[in-house]
Amino acid sequence: MIAADTYGVLLRIDITNNYSYVNIPFPNLVYAFDLDYDRTDDVIYWININNQIKSGSIFGMNIKTVFYLNGIAQSNGIAVDSISRLLFYTDLRNQIIAIINLKDYAHKTVINSGLGKPRAIVIDPINGKLYWIDSGNPPKIETSNYDGTNRQDIVNTGLTSPYGLDVDMHARVLYWCEIGTFKIKRANVDGSNQSLIYQEQVALQGCSIAFYQSYLYFTTWSYRNVIMRIRTDGSGLIFVASSTRINPLGIYVNHNGHLDTLPEDFILVLDESKIYIYRMNINNYTQFSIKIQNGSYPNAIDYDPNAAVMFWTDLSFRHIKSGSIYGNKHTTFGNFNQYAVLSGISLDVISGLLFYTDIGQNFIGVINIDANVTKTIISDDINTPQALVTDPTSGTIYWSSLTKIEKSSYDGTRRQELINTGLNASVDLAVDINVGVMYWCHYNTRKIEVANVDGSNRQVLYKDQATIYKCSIALHQSYLYYIDSSQSALMRIATDGSGMKSVVPSIFHDVMDIHVHSNTTLNQGINGCSNGRGGCSHFCFPQPGGSKVCDCPDDMTLQPDGLSCGKYISPETFLLFLDQRSRCIYIMDICNYKYVTIALKNIYAPYAIGYDPIDRNIYFTDYRFMQIVSVSIDENTQRTMRQLNISPHDIEIAVDAVSRLLFYSDSMISVLSLDGFMQKVVISNITGIPSDLVIDPINGHIYWTTSEYNGKIEKSNYDGTNRQEIINSGLGYLTGLAIDIQGMLFILYLTSFS
C-alpha cells in the first residue's frame, strides 16, 4: 500500500506483514493529494498542493515534474493506466477531466462540459472506461470511454458529498466514501444494486478508499488520521496504521487484483516503428500499449494463453523474446548466430513448441520453450521462409516463402507443396484448422486469397491496386483482420470477401504482424505430446491419431529407447559436407543416408572441410573471415585454430591425423600443426590459385590443382621438396580432387566455363 502523509511524506506499507511501513525518501516533498502507481516502471504519480503532477521511483529516486496545471486549477483525482501509458486527472475548478500520454507527455482535455466538481477518478483499462465522482449539485458518479464518448450517469440519487472511489474490476463493483455524513457504499458499475456498507454520524473534510481482495482500506481526514480496514460486507472494522498521519486524499493498494483482467478476445498489433505491442479488445477496439526494449526491431508475434505470455522475434538483437501480456517479465529464447534473420513464429501451446523461420539462413527451426533448446526442422529447398502456422492436433506446420505455400509434419517429413503459382513475393498466412481453409495476403499487391489446406479451390477474396511491401493477416471467427504498409489503419473483412472496412483508425506507424486470441476458439484439445511431453526428453512431435515421435537438438541423437537424447554416436562410415547457406555441417551415414547437423556459430562463409578421426574433430575454413576453425563431433565445441593474414581466396584444407598436421592452400600452400602452434609455408610460387588439395599420408605427398582453364595437377613432399607436375594437359577447369590409399587420383573438372 502507498499512502500520502499530511506532513509531506509518502509511505510504503506492507499489508502482508503487520502493516509495517517505511518512508519513501523523496527530498523536499510538497504536500501530496491523490496518488497512483505505475507497476510497469515502479513509479508513483501524485498531485501536490502547487498544482504539479509529479512522479518518482517507488524507492524514492528520479523525481520528475510530469505536468504543470494552470494557476486556478485544483485536482483531487489521478489514475494511471500503466499498460497504455496514460494518466487521467480531474480539475474541479476548471471543471474538466484531462489525459496525459506518459510516452511523450502530450496533454488533452477529455471532458469539459456538464461537470460540477469532479474529484476521485478510477479506470477500467480492460474496457477502456473511466469512472469519476462529481461532488457538485447534484452529486453523481459518472462513466465514459477513455475519449469521453458514451458518457452516462450511473449513480445520481442517494449521494451525500461523495469523495473517494475505487473499482473491483473482476466483480464489476464500485466502492465509494461520502463525507456529508461518513458512509461507505457500493454499486455495480452500471449503477444497480446500490447499498450501504458502513456509516458513522460524523462530517468529514475528505476521505480516500482502496479495494483489496475482500477488504476496503479507507482514511477519514480530520476525524481519525489513520488507515482503517473493513470487509466489503461491512464487518470486521479495524485500525491498521494508527501511528501515521494519513492524508485521506491519497491511498493506493498494489496487488494482483489490480492487474488488468484480459478480455476474452483481443488483437495483438506489433508496431516496429513505435517499438510497442498494442493489445486491443476485439469488441470495442480499446487499445493498451506495451513497451518493447529500445533498439528492438520486432517482426512477428504469438501468444500463450495458459501462461499469459507473448512471444516475438527481434531482428535487431537476433533473438526471440517473451514477455507477460501485462508488460513485464521478459525472457530470451534460443541461441542464434549473427546471420540469423528471424521472421515468422507460431506457438503450439499443447506441445510446448515454438516454431520459427530464419530468412537469413533459410531454414525452419523449433524451440522447446520449457528447456529452451532448438532444432532445425527444414533447411533444404527453401527460399526465404516467412509466415508460419501450426496445427497441434495433427502435428502439421504451414509456411509461406517467396514463391510457395507448403506444409509438412512437425519433424519435416510428409512435406507437400500446396500453392506454387502466382506468388512472386512473400505472403502472410492464416489457417482455419477447424474447416480446413487457409488465407493469405500478398506483399507486393494488396490482395487476399483463400484455398483449402490441400491447395484446392483457390479464390481471390479481395484485390486493390496499391503496391505494398508488407501485410499481416489474422483470423477471428468469420472475419479476417488485415493491415498493410500502405495504411496505418486496422481493416476487417468477412471470410466471404465482403465488407472490407476500417475498424481502428490510422494510429499505427509500421505494423509488422498481428495476432488474434479468442477464448471461444481456443484449441483446448490433446495430442500425443500433451501429457508430460509424451515421455520425450527434448522434443515431442505429435502425429495424427494421437501418436507422437521423439526427436533431439541438432547436436544430439535419439537413443535406442526412442525417448531420450544423448551425445551423437557417429557411424563407422560417414560423409561430411558443408552447407554454406544454412552454415551447418552435415554428418551422413553412408549406409542409410540418415544425418545429423552441427550448426556453426559466428561463421559467415564455410568452405573446405577435413576430419581428424583420432580426436573426432572436424576442421573447416571460413574464407570471408579468413580463419581455420575446429568443432568436436562429441561435444559440439568450436574454436578458431588460426586467423590467416592472406588474400581472400577460397581456402582448401587436408588433414593428416597421424602426423597431426593440417595443410591449407590459398595463393600458396602452408602446413599447420593441429595444436595450432606450428605454421610454415611449404609451396610459395604457384601459378594460379589452388582449387583443391589432397594428401597421401602413407608416402608423405601433397597433391593440388590450380583454378585456371587447362590447369594442371602437381605434387610434392610434405616439406615442399621434389615438386613435379603429374598432369599438365587435356584438362578443363579443375574443381575437385580426391585420392585413395592405394594412390589412385580422382579428378573433377569442367570442359568449359559454361
Which carries the bigger pLDDT value, residue 116 or residue 749?
A: 116
Together in a domain, 615 and 666:
yes
Which carries the bigger pLDDT value, residue 400 or residue 48?
A: 400
Give the residues across from 669 on adjacent strands: 665, 683
| CATH number of the domain where residue 151 is located | 2.120.10.30
Task: Check if the beta carbon of residue 79 is closer than 8 Å to that of residue 88.
Answer: yes
Together in a domain, 598 and 495:
no
Which carries the bigger pLDDT value, residue 445 or residue 359?
A: 359
* 539 part of a folded domain: no
Residue-range definition of the domain harbouring residue 735 = 564-750
* 666 part of a folded domain: yes
Mean per-residue pLDDT, 427-452: 90
Residue 640: other Cβ atoms inside 10 A: 14
Half-sphere exposure of 419 (CA within 13 A, CB side): 30
Strand order in the sheet with 471-476: 471-476, 479-484, 490-494, 501-504
* pLDDT value at residue 550: 95
Together in a domain, 218 and 312:
no
* pLDDT value at residue 126: 75
% of the chain surpassing 70 pLDDT:
92
* 692 part of a folded domain: yes
Together in a domain, 125 and 243:
yes
Task: Check if the beta carbon of residue 631 is closer than 8 Å to that of residue 600.
Answer: yes
- Give the span between the Cα atoms of 450 and 457, in whole angstroms: 8
Amino acid at 252: Y
Task: Check if the beta carbon of residue 545 is closer than 8 Å to that of residue 342.
Answer: no
- Give the span between the Cα atoms of 215 and 70, in whole angstroms: 37
- Give the span between the Cα atoms of 457 and 663, in whole angstroms: 59
Q: How confident is the model at residue 749 (pLDDT cuts 50, 70, 90)?
A: low
Task: Check if the beta carbon of residue 28 is closer than 8 Å to that of residue 266.
Answer: no
Residues, the chain, total?
A: 754
Together in a domain, 290 and 156:
no
Helices and strands, number each (H, E), in the chain:
0, 69
The domain boundary, picked from 239, 258, 277, lies at: 258
Using CA atoms, how far residue 493 sits from 99, 166, 445, 490, 545, in Å, is 33, 39, 17, 10, 34
Closest listed residue to residue 690, CA positions, set 698, 682, 678: 682
- For residue 552, what is the DSSP state? -
Question: Is 389 in a helix, a strand, or coil?
Answer: strand
Half-sphere exposure of 74 (CA within 13 A, CB side): 8
Q: Considering only 76-90, 265-279, 443-457, 520-534, which range has the smallest mean pLDDT?
A: 520-534
* pLDDT value at residue 35: 87
Together in a domain, 245 and 333:
no
Residue 422: other Cβ atoms inside 10 A: 11
Together in a domain, 585 and 457:
no
Mean per-residue pLDDT, 613-638: 86
* pLDDT value at residue 254: 60
* pLDDT value at residue 329: 66
Together in a domain, 310 and 238:
no
* 22 part of a folded domain: no
Question: Is residue 523 predicted with pLDDT exceeding 60?
Answer: no
Contacts of 389 (CB under 8 A, 6+ apart): 346, 397, 398, 399, 429, 430, 431, 438
Q: Considering only 2-11, 303-312, 672-681, which range has the smallest mean pLDDT?
A: 2-11
* pLDDT value at residue 467: 67
Which cell numbers in the block locate residue 201? 454520524
* pLDDT value at residue 685: 87
* 552 part of a folded domain: no
Which carries the bigger pLDDT value, residue 414 or residue 22?
A: 414
Which carries the bigger pLDDT value, residue 19 or residue 183?
A: 183
The domain boundary, picked from 258, 284, 308, lies at: 258
* pLDDT value at residue 328: 61
Phi-psi region at 418: left, alpha or beta (left = phi > 0; alpha = psi -120 to 50)? alpha
* pLDDT value at residue 241: 67
* pLDDT value at residue 268: 93
The domain boundary, picked from 207, 233, 258, lies at: 258
* pLDDT value at residue 39: 75
Contacts of 55 (CB under 8 A, 6+ apart): 38, 43, 44, 45, 46, 62, 63, 64, 66
Strand segments (E) across 669-750: 669-673, 679-683, 690-696, 701-706, 713-717, 724-727, 733-739, 745-750
Q: Considering only 97-106, 365-374, 519-528, 724-733, which range has the smallest mean pLDDT?
A: 519-528
Mean per-residue pLDDT, 220-239: 80
Which carries the bigger pLDDT value, residue 701 or residue 521?
A: 701
Amino acid at 208: S
Which cell numbers in the block locate residue 358? 530464419
Determine if the pTM surpasses 0.85. no
pLDDT digits (tens, 9 = 90+) for 676-720: 889 999 998 887 778 889 999 988 999 998 867 677 889 999 999
pLDDT digits (tens, 9 = 90+) for 256-285: 434 455 778 999 998 877 678 888 888 878
Q: How confident is the model at residue 484 (pLDDT cuts 50, 70, 90)?
A: confident
Q: How confident is the model at residue 251 (pLDDT cuts 50, 70, 90)?
A: low
Phi, psi values for residue 257, rounded to 5°: -65, -20
Strand order in the sheet with 52-57: 32-38, 43-48, 52-57, 64-68
Which carries the bigger pLDDT value, residue 254 or residue 634?
A: 634
pLDDT digits (tens, 9 = 90+) for 18-52: 777 777 877 777 777 788 888 777 789 988 888 88
Dump the DSSP string for 702-720.
Answer: EEEEESSTT--EEEEETTS
- Give the span between the Cα atoms of 487 and 243, in whole angstroms: 59
* 671 part of a folded domain: yes
* pLDDT value at residue 709: 67
Q: How confident is the model at residue 247 (pLDDT cuts 50, 70, 90)?
A: very low
* 30 part of a folded domain: no
- pLDDT averaged over every residue in the chain: 85
The number of domains in the chain is 3
Together in a domain, 478 and 579:
no
Together in a domain, 438 and 505:
yes
Task: Check if the beta carbon of residue 713 is closer than 8 Å to that of residue 726.
Answer: yes
Question: Is 300 in a helix, a strand, or coil?
Answer: strand
Bond preceding residue 606 cis, omega within 30 of 0: no
Which cell numbers in the block locate residue 129? 472506461
SS (H, E, C) 199-264: ECCCCCCEEEEEEECCEEEEEEECCEEEEEEEECCCCCCEECCCCCCEEEEEEECCCHHHCCCCCC
Together in a domain, 439 and 505:
yes
Question: Is residue 635 predicted with pLDDT exceeding 80?
Answer: no
Question: Is residue 129 predicted with pLDDT exceeding 60?
Answer: yes
Mean per-residue pLDDT, 464-469: 72
* 222 part of a folded domain: yes
- For residue 675, what is the DSSP state? T
Q: How confident is the model at residue 649 (pLDDT cuts 50, 70, 90)?
A: low
Question: Is residue 753 predicted with pLDDT exceeding 80?
Answer: no
Amino acid at 238: I
Together in a domain, 238 and 299:
no
Closest listed residue to residue 578, CA positions, set 662, 651, 642: 651
pLDDT digits (tens, 9 = 90+) for 131-175: 999 999 999 999 999 999 999 999 999 998 999 999 988 888 999
3-state helix, strand and coil shares in percent for the chain, rounded to the nearest 5: 0, 50, 50
* pLDDT value at residue 250: 60
